[in-house]
């Protein structure tokens, strides 16, 4: 806080001193200093440890339950320690310097303290501590941003598709806290001209799930590029999941499609995942009769595909459950499949005929913005979307 703010309201200060005479002297010095102080007192480190919700601690190093630097170490071990000004004896200036080296903001020698010196020490200690805290928080924020950027590149790659006539759109929104979760996507054109796409979701939220999602996405792309049959790709991804997950109960849902080289049909694999939609007006669900288990679930059974005829003009969308489960209209009701189909149909209908408008949002961005508007703010869960289309004008 600025100096003027500190002067406008009492600074919360805890004096840790077992000697009544020294405690009275410090109290009087503060009273004469002109600084506004809400002064509390503790007679031991044990008592002080329960009362560290203050801005500054005036700490005597000679206490009944702690001698020397052990008292300082205990105070600084708090989750968010306050500023500390060490009080030393006349012949212990070396000890004061060592205390500063160990993390105290300042030290004062008993018997050589004036009201002005004490006031300045308290003010400067609080300011230094705030500066240190802000610098640490900034470093953590920068580190978090760097980690998020690395995970984002691994979770959300650039589609590897050479067919310029195939529409490929991808989108992602992190949850409300801005952290990446375990949602991932990828699109790859294979050597035979077919195009494989995947959208997956690792159960749970946080950096561990995001890292696992990135690993699964990489395993999926590697297997596809290696030319493995689609069903075998899923086996490989599940093996990686089992080997890399931190707990045996972690699983992942996944949807994979393989569009044939003629772009007229595709194979659809559902692994415990929401069914993709055929985007049109109206928007409808693709077949889900052959839905299989999620990856990592210890039950019998693998995955079989269903062949979907697409025709000569089509557009499909794969998505994670973040858009389905979002609450709407300020209540507890979920958007659900029907609500999402209505939103997607509206965006398909509204986007036709505007292909020349280069400034417009992509279809996936329009869908995400429409869901966000229906929710009334940023979505709680992270969400990934992939759109594939053929013969589209918009």
Q: pTM to 2 decimals?
A: 0.65
Note every long-range contact of 368-372, with CB atoms under 8 Å and residues 24 or more positions apart, other chains counting: 368/171, 368/173, 368/323, 370/343, 370/346, 371/323, 371/326, 371/335, 371/340, 371/343, 372/173
pLDDT level of residue 110 (50, 70, 90 thresholds)? confident
Which residue, 341, 393, 388, is CA-closest to 367?
Answer: 341
What is the average pLDDT score of the chain?
86
Whether residue 207 is predicted with pLDDT greater than 90 in this model: the reply is no
What local confidence, expressed as pLDDT, does residue 90 receive? 57
Q: Tokens standing for 162?
A: 């050479």
CB 76 within 8 A of CB 54: no
Whether residue 14 is predicted with pLDDT greater than 70 in this model: the reply is yes
Whether residue 226 is predicted with pLDDT greater than 50 in this model: the reply is yes
Q: How many CA atoms does the CB half-sphere of 307 hold within 13 Å?
A: 6
d(CA 222, CA 233): 9
| List of residues 6+ apart from 248 with CB closer than 8 A | none
What local confidence, expressed as pLDDT, does residue 353 receive? 45
pLDDT level of residue 4 (50, 70, 90 thresholds)? very low
pLDDT level of residue 156 (50, 70, 90 thresholds)? confident
d(CA 126, CA 118): 12
d(CA 237, CA 291): 17
CB 26 within 8 A of CB 51: no
Q: Which residue has the tokens 């995955």?
A: 303
pLDDT level of residue 368 (50, 70, 90 thresholds)? very high
Arithmetic mean of pLDDT, 85-110: 81
């Amino acid at each position: 806080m600025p100096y003027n703010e500190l002067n406008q309201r009492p600074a919360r200060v805890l004096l840790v001193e077992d000697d009544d005479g020294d405690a009275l002297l410090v109290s009087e010095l503060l009273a004469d200093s002109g600084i506004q102080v809400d002064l509390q007192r503790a007679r031991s480190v044990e008592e002080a440890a329960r009362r560290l919700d203050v801005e500054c601690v005036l700490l005597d190093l000679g206490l009944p339950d702690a001698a020397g630097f052990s008292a300082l170490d205990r105070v600084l071990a708090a989750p968010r320690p306050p500023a500390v000004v060490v009080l030393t004896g006349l012949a212990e200036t070396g000890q004061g310097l060592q205390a500063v080296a160990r993390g105290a903001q300042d030290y004062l020698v008993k018997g050589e303290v004036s009201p002005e010196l004490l006031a300045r020490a308290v003010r400067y200690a609080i300011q230094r501590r705030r500066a240190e805290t802000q610098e640490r928080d900034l470093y953590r924020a920068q580190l978090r941003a760097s980690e998020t950027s690395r995970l984002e590149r691994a979770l959300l790659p650039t589609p590897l598709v050479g067919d310029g006539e195939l529409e490929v759109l991808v989108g992602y929104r992190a949850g409300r806290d801005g952290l990446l979760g375990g949602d991932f996507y990828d699109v790859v054109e294979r050597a035979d001209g077919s195009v494989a796409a995947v959208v997956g979701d690792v159960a749970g939220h946080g950096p561990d799930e995001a890292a696992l999602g990135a690993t699964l996405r990489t395993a999926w792309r590697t297997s596809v590029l290696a030319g493995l049959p689609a069903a075998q790709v899923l086996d490989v991804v599940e093996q990686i999941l089992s080997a890399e997950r931190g707990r045996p109960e972690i699983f992942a849902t996944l949807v994979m499609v393989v569009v044939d080289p003629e772009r007229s049909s595709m194979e659809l694999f559902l692994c415990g995942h929401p069914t993709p939609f055929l985007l049109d007006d109206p928007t409808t669900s693709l077949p889900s009769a052959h839905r299989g288990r999620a990856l990592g679930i210890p039950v019998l059974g693998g995955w079989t595909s269903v062949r979907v005829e697409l025709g000569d003009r089509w557009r499909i969308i794969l998505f994670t459950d973040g858009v389905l489960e979002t609450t709407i209209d300020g209540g507890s009701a979920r958007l659900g499949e029907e609500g999402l189909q209505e939103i997607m149909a509206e965006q398909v209908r509204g986007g036709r005929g505007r292909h020349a408008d280069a400034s417009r949002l992509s279809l996936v961005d329009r869908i995400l913005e429409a869901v966000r508007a229906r929710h009334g703010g940023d979505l709680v869960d992270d969400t990934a979307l992939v759109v594939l289309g053929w013969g589209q004008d918009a």
